[in-house]
Amino acid sequence: MTKILPRKDVVIVGLGWTGSILAHELTDQGLDVLAIERGPWRDTATDFNIGYAQDELRYSVRRDLFLQPTVETMTVRNDPSQTALPMRDFGSFLPGNGVGGAGVHWNGHTWRFWDSDFQIKTNLTKKYGASRIADLQVEDWGVTGTEMEPYYDRFEYLAGISGKAGNIKGELQEGGNPFEDPRSRDYPNPPMQMTYAPTLFAEVGRSIGLHPFPTPSANMSRAYVNPLGIAMGQCTYCGFCERFGCANYSKSSAQTTILPVLMKKSNFEVRTDSEVLHVDLAPGGKSARGVTYVDTSGQEYFQPADLVLLCAYGLHNARLMMLSGIGKIYDPTSGEGTVGRNYCYQTNAGVQVFFDDKNFNPFIAAGALGQTIDDYNGDAFDHGALDFVGGAGINCIPTNGRPIGTRPTLPGTPKWGSAWKKATVEGYKSTLGYSSQGSSYATRNNYLDLDPTYKDRFGRPLMRMTFDFPDNDIRMSNYLCDRMEEIAKALGGKQYTVSRRKKGWDSVPYQSTHNTGGAIMGTDPRRSAVNTFLQSWDVPNVFVIGASAFPQNAGKNPTGTVGALAFRAADAIRNQYLRNPGAPLVQA
Amino acid sequence: MKKLVFTLVIGALALAIAPAWSADQADQIIRGQYQAVLGDCAGCHTQAGGKPLAGGLPLETPFGALVPPNITPDGETGIGNWSEADFRNMMKSGIGHNGVRLYPAMPYPAYTRMNDSDIADLWAYLTSVEPVSNKVEANQLPFPLNIRLAMLGWNALNFTEASFQPDSSKSAEWNRGAYIVQGSGHCGTCHTPKSFLGADKDSEFLQGASLQGWFAPDITNNAQSGLGKWSEEDLVKYLKTGVNAHSIASGPMAEAIENSTSKMTDPDLKAVAVYLKSLGSDAGNTQPAKPDETRMATGEAVYRDNCSACHGGDGAGAGVLFPSLAGNSIVAQGSSETLARLVLAGSQAVHTADAPTTPAMPSLAWRLKDQEIADVLTYVRASWGNAAAAVSSDDVAAVRKGLTQ
Amino acid sequence: MASDPPTQVVAGGWHFFSAQEAALVEAIVDRIIPADELSMGGKEAGCAVYIDSQLMGAYGASSRLYTQGPFLPGLPTQGYQGEANPAQRYRAGLAAIDAFLKQRDGKTFVELARAEQDAFLTAMEAGKVDLPNGVKGPAFFGLLLQNTMEGFFADPVYGGNKDMVSWRMLGFPGARYDYRDHVSKHNQPYPQPPVSIIGRPEWLGKGA
């Protein structure tokens, strides 16, 4: 029997970055807010205990803090002609779980997308003609860089980002990214102290005319107190960032920037270890009545609420919409339907340069400590004579020297035996790596829907992901690899390798947890699932917050934009939606 | 502060629907609510997440468990049947309604110094809160202490009903501070050593005491073990926010700060600081022997690998997040009980409006053996200008045993 | 629970492997990571102890993975689609190796000379031996290789990497949490010895 619970003003599904931001903003507005989180409560001193947090096997290899596939996975295939099969273990990407979500174990690269990313279709059409993007399904976001700026600013100050501005109100700043859009002020904290590898990478990059700058980092370069009054510590460069919780309060997350204040509010409550099964719609399907969730005992509850915010991981937001009947599921054959449309990813490639005479101490590292070159990212360079659109940031960000996973060796090295061992010892400290993090543009046949065969533990269909790298993106990535080779030659090691991106996306080796789209924002309800305030076109008292809203992905990490969109949605709810609850903020 | 404003608003609402209360009474209730803050009634009589003042969690005393009763005006389970005279009598003498003798876990030996008008205000406030029906079995002491009559003998030996005696040679501020510290604030309940019968040793007033597995430090002005290195401003900041350059509150003091001192007025906090800084002397201080070098070396190794990422290689800590260990008064106590407890069990810092972060020390009980903890504490207590005695593995073992029981 | 401390694995007695299986795994890990001038071998380092313990737990049972059917053959890009969990794959794979070698050479793996062992493993890795009972040589070798490396490079608390041997070999300082004093010392060796989450000898007043 489903138990019916007392009504709440707002129910938030998922208490990660976006759920925490929305909860904080809406409780400040005086609303009674409940967050329902599938995973456990997580707290720095107990869950990321400095006495045993530095455990590569447990947290990086066995992935203790991540979503376990037995709880939810998805099926995958490269194109609609194949039969999708379940990811029995996650590999290519690793969704988060529990309070704080993937923001607990991220690296902390915190970027702003550019106006040219937001107005991409308009911009590319104007510059290169519509035929240039005929094979792609790129869409404008319906917002401008100028509109997004204040929300980026709020997220960066909340999270205490360490970096160097490249452009303040139109004035270029020495040492920052000359390609970025104007920002209203500098980052709240100066850049991290550089380790050897990115320092060398930047020197060499500059020597060949490129413009390296310190990667904006959610690892603290110094102690910081954010606008909520919450204090963070200085990063200690321990090299246990990605896949780990931070044990000393020096990596931004909901835990270190919002929860200490949020959890003390009398109008906020979180229920952990509780999985939302679906959003319940009123008859007619035009408004949500609340959500149904199940706790670990198997008891089902109906939680009535006036406003439902989907703040789970982007992929899970899209699946919850599909399972709840919010909007129509995308069909690539007809091109109709919006939920699941424009699933995109990240098109990465890498270079390793081997030296004899250098010691990079790879274990002295942080998740976002490094240097980036944006000369070939997005709209920073002219594509007129090229056969692709898009680009990539070139990042030298050595995040760790953890030896189960990080043991670079010269090409041709055997995988075992004495020769393997000798090459492993030689390569461990003396290898410099960097990579291109490339844009991922939508196509008609890259999409999400529900799998016809495989079910989750509650008997609900798994989501099905159909994805391969578009030819445009492969051409882009190859171009970037050529540019990275120029840097490798200038670095002058004894040898280098380039790992190029190939067709046939492989779900096994880790690539990136930057899955975007599936519930994209826009101005046309036939081509987007949510409006530019992330409000569902179909069920206006549901907002869908996260990277699910990206119409396509840029050559940058998504969290900064996810945070900015969350603040923007919160402002829209506080200043507009609450004046006329239940009504669409934008008329279709 | 926000919370206080909030409750005052609720109080005002209650007044609006209770025409029996005049404006004068409303003022008295608000004054009484402040007396409840000074006395930290909620600290014992409210359970976390429970209804205000409807009964608390058991207090572990050296003699057994006592459960703070329901003090809402509920007739059956609270103090609804008490008269104001009953209440005044209880606060002054420890003898409650119908002559029931209280155990001195209720700090009437301190409250006895409160003046009549403050007690009357407090009573007015208590009669105004929401009555809650919640039956509390207060007395869970073993025989013979469970016989409340036994308190008759205890009182005869240990207790004298008293009023606060102002010292006319001191400033009004000093006297206000003394009144709060000795009276409603009942600081000595934790910070003054107890005799084997549980009574305050007046000669060692506020010089530090062990209770509930913590060592409540010396809060006199002693330069070695007390607050000698703290300025009055440091002390006010600590009581108001839970954090200052020398320390971050956790454990029972965190509760006292959250419920009580952070809500005191700035002049009262200043008065408390002025008074505390006037107490104690350095006459008896002696320099403990330097620990041997092997222990310092192992202690340093353990410190580097476990502690320095937060507390710094130089013990300087980091602002409001990680307490400095150099010159920290907890580190300087004769007893290492709190230190061992912090390493073994960890602890979360206090939450106040001005310091909302609540950073926590993790438990290192799994990782570190008793000897390793003893060595690292010995190292910390003898480094960066600290000069406290070495810690033995037996000291640590005793605390570990207490925590696992 | 993600908040619980780990359980220390100590050598002595096998929990998953039979004595015969254990001898075979110890022989294999000692060829994957042979003893030489750089380090002790995989057997002495405890790699087999590590694997034995892992197979007894969540990893061996795939209890955190998606294990619902149907089990269909997939493309390599869709990852492992078999029904067998690692514990079952070890049981079948180890039996197949000895059955194959008994039939071919009249000896078990343990009885072969080192060069013969290396040759067999090389052939198995390359898919050049037909193991019985449908065991796929390259896939099972891949599993053995992966788990051996995990044991050798993981924290010693899990039974392998005895005395932090692999960390000393690489110069990885282990479970440290503060390198602030060395960040800007570019190209200079880091001076501190490695530390495990169960400590280092210096904590007990012993030299490294």
- Ordered DSSP codes for A157-202: HHHT-B---SEETTEE-TTS-TTSPPBSS--SBPPPPP-HHHHHHH
Please give the pLDDT value at position B6: 36
Active-site positions of A? 514
Angstrom distance (rounded) from CA A577 to CA A571: 9
How many CB atoms neighbour CB C5 within 10 A? 18
**Beta-strand pair A347-354/A431-438:** antiparallel
- Residue A304 backbone dihedrals phi, psi, to 5 degrees: -70, 145
> Of B158, B192, B224, which residue is a domain's last?
B158
B180 touches B272 (CB < 8 A): yes
The string of pLDDT tens digits covering residues A262-313 is 999 999 999 999 999 999 999 999 999 999 999 999 999 999 999 999 999 9
Mean pLDDT of the B89-111 span: 84
**pLDDT surpasses 60 at B145:** no
Check which CATH number belongs to the domain holding B368 and give it: 1.10.760.10
pLDDT at B257 over 60: yes
Position B149 confidence tier, pLDDT thresholds 50, 70, 90: low
pLDDT at A587 over 70: yes
Residue A274: C-alpha distances to residues A1, A23, A133, A301, A450 (Å): 16, 17, 43, 10, 22
Q: Which residues of A touch C51 (CB under 8 A)?
A: none
For residue B94, what pLDDT is reported?
A: 86
pLDDT, one tens digit per residue, over C150-175 is 999 999 999 999 999 999 999 999 99
For position A389, what pLDDT does the model report? 98
Residues B365 and B332 grouped into a single domain: yes
Q: How close is the nearest chain B Cα to the Cα of C4, in Å? A: 10
pLDDT band at B8 (very low <50, low <70, confident <90, very high): very low
> Is there a domain that residue B21 lies in?
yes
In a domain, B319, yes or no: yes
Euclidean distance between CA atoms A280 and A308, whole angstroms: 10
Residue B18 binned pLDDT confidence (cut-offs 50, 70, 90): very low
Residues of B in contact with C175 (CB under 8 A): 305
Q: Please indicate whether, in this complex, the C-beta atoms of B321 and A51 are within 8 angstroms of each other.
A: no
The 3-state secondary structure of B223-278 reads CCCCCCCCCHHHHHHHHHHCECCCCECECHHHHHHHHCHHHCCHHHHHHHHHHHCC
Nearest to B366 among C5, C192, C195 (CB): C5
Is C66 in the B-facing interface, judged by CB distances under 8 Å?
no
| pLDDT class of B10 with cuts at 50, 70, 90 | very low
> Does B405 score more than 80 pLDDT?
no
The reply to whether residue B301 touches residue C175, judged by beta carbons under 8 angstroms, is no
**Pick from B226, B242, B276: which residue ends a domain?**
B276
Binned at pLDDT 50, 70 and 90, residue C2 comes out as low
Distance from CA of C9 to the nearest CA of B (A): 14
Position B62 pLDDT exceeds 70: no
d(CA A171, CA C48): 61
Residue partners of B190: CB distance under 8 A and separation at least 6: B209, B211, B216, B252, B253, B256
Mean pLDDT within B39-53: 89
- What whole-number distance in Å separates Cα of residue A180 and Cα of residue A176? 9
The reply to whether B212 and B124 lie within a common domain is no
Q: How confident is the model at residue B138 (pLDDT cuts 50, 70, 90)?
A: low
pLDDT of residue B20: 60
Residue from A297, A299, A319 nearest A460 by CA: A319
The DSSP element (H or E) to which C148 belongs, if any, is: helix C137-153
| Cα separations in angstroms, C195 against B296, C67, C163, C177, C208 | 18, 37, 10, 10, 10
Identify the domain containing residue B44 by its residue range.
2-158
A452-464 per-position pLDDT tens digit:
999 999 999 999 9
Q: Which residue in B36, B15, B14 sits closest to B264, CA to CA? A: B36
Q: Which of A85, A194, A236 sits opposite C179 (nearest CB)?
A: A236
Residue B17's pLDDT is: 46
Q: Which of B294, B305, B375 sits opposite C195 (nearest CB)?
A: B305
Residues B64 and B107 in one domain: yes
Q: pLDDT confidence of B103, banded at 50, 70, 90?
A: confident
State whether B371 and C204 contact (CB < 8 Å). yes
Does a structural domain hold residue B321?
Answer: yes
- Helix (H) / strand (E) element for A543: namely strand A542-544
Distance from CA of B138 to the nearest CA of A (A): 29
Domain with residue B196: its CATH number is 1.10.760
Cα–Cα distance measured from residue B148 to residue B189, given in angstroms and rounded to the nearest whole number? 20
For residues B17-23, give the mean pLDDT.
59
Q: Is B318 on the interface with A (CB under 8 A)?
A: yes
Q: For strand A347-354 and strand A495-499, is the pairing parallel, antiparallel, or unpaired?
A: antiparallel
Residue B343: count other Cβ atoms within 10 Å of its Cβ: 29
A209 by Cβ neighbours in 10 Å (0-12 / 13-18 / 19+) ranks as: exposed
- β partners of residue A13: A36, A310
- Residue B4: the pLDDT is 37
Q: What is the CATH number of the domain that holds A98?
A: 3.50.50.60
B311 is in an annotated binding site: yes
Residues of the domain holding A485: 3-579
Contact C176 B305 (CB under 8 A): yes
Task: Give residue A211's Cα distance to chain centre.
Answer: 25
Could you give the C-alpha distances from A494 to A411, A418, A420, A480, in angstroms and in order? 12, 22, 18, 22
Residue C110's Cβ-count burial label (10 Å; 0-12, 13-18, 19+) is middle
- Please check the confidence at residue B19 and state whether its pLDDT lies above 70: no
As for the ipTM of the complex, it is 0.97
E strand residue ranges, B40-195: 59-61, 64-66, 139-140
Residue B37 and residue B12 share a domain:
yes
Tell whether B351 is in a known binding site.
no
**All partners of chain C with 3 or more CB pairs under 8 angstroms:** A, B
Residues B256, B109 share a domain: no
The helix or strand, by DSSP H or E, that contains position C60, with its residue range, turns out to be: helix C58-61
Domain boundary (B158, B181, B213) is at: B158
Beta bridge partners of A293: A276, A301
pLDDT band, residue B194 (cuts 50/70/90): confident
B367 touches chain C (CB under 8 A): yes
What total of structural domains would you count in chain B? 3
Number of independent structural domains in chain A: 1
pLDDT at residue B9, as a whole number: 40
- Whether residue B85 is found in the same domain as residue B219: no
Query: What is the reported pLDDT for A544?
Result: 98
CA distance C41 to B336: 45
Separation in Å, CA A217 to CA A110, A112, A497, B350: 6, 12, 27, 29
Q: Is the peptide bond before B144 cis (omega within 30 degrees of 0)?
A: yes
Q: Is residue A468 part of a domain?
A: yes
**B191 in a labelled binding site:** yes
| pLDDT at residue B141, rounded to an integer | 56
Instruction: Name chain B's partners: 3 or more CB pairs within 8 A.
Output: A, C
Q: What's the pLDDT tens digit per position in C23-72?
A: 999 999 999 999 999 999 999 999 999 999 999 999 999 999 999 999 99
Residue of A nearest to B361 (CA): A45
| Within-domain flag for B246 | yes
Nearest to A112 by CA among A181, A191, A162, A178: A181
Examine the pLDDT at B326 and tell me if it is beyond 80.
yes
Nearest chain A residue to B309 by CA distance is: A236
With 50 as the cut, is the pLDDT of residue B130 above it?
yes
Residue of B nearest to A254 (CA): B357
Among B18, B399, B262, smallest CA distance to A264 is for: B262
Query: pLDDT of A520-575, one tens digit each?
Result: 999 999 999 999 999 999 999 999 999 999 999 999 999 999 999 999 999 999 99
Binding site annotation covers B190? yes
Question: What residues of chain A, 404 to 433, have a C-beta less than 8 Å from chain C?
Answer: 404, 407, 415-418, 421-422, 424-425, 428-429
CB distance B111 to B122 below 8 Å: no
Beta strands in A319-370 (DSSP E): 347-354
Q: Are residues B144 and B195 in the same domain?
A: no
Determine contact: A249 vs chain B, CB below 8 A. yes
Rg of chain A in Å (alpha carbons): 23
Taking CA A327 as the corner, what is the angle to CA A322 and CA A331, rounded to the nearest 5 degrees?
75
- Rounded average pLDDT over B239-266: 91
pLDDT, tens digit, 9 for 90 and up, residues A67-86: 999 999 999 999 999 999 99
Residues of A in contact with B362 (CB under 8 A): 44-46, 49-51, 247
> Are residues B100 and B139 located together in one domain of the fold?
yes
- Name the residue in chain A with its Cα closest to that of C79: A508
Which of the four pLDDT bands, split at 50, 70 and 90, describes residue A99?
very high
- Chosen from B295, B302, B305, B363 to mutate, greatest number of chain C CBs within 10 A: B305
Q: Is the pLDDT of residue A88 over 70?
A: yes
Q: How far is A429 from chain B (nearest CA, A)?
A: 22
Residues in chain B with CB shorter than 8 Å from the CB of C178 are 304, 308-309, 313
Angle between helices B370-381 and B337-345 (to 10 degrees): 130
* Residue pair B74/B131 in contact by the 8 Å Cβ criterion: yes
Residue B147 confidence class, pLDDT cut points 50, 70, 90? low
Decide: pTM greater than 0.90: yes
Does A70 contact chain C (CB < 8 Å)? Answer: yes
Distances A169 to A162, A165, A212 between C-alpha atoms, Å: 19, 10, 21
Chain B residues close to C204, C-beta within 8 Å: 298, 369, 371-372
How far apart CA A50 and CA A331 sit, in angstroms, is: 48
Q: Which residues contact C89 (CB under 8 A, 6 or more apart)?
A: C82, C140, C143
DSSP annotation string for B176-222: HHHHHHHTTT-THHHHS-B-TTS-B-GGGTTS-EEETTEEEPP-SS-
Determine if residue B97 is labeled as part of a ligand binding site: no
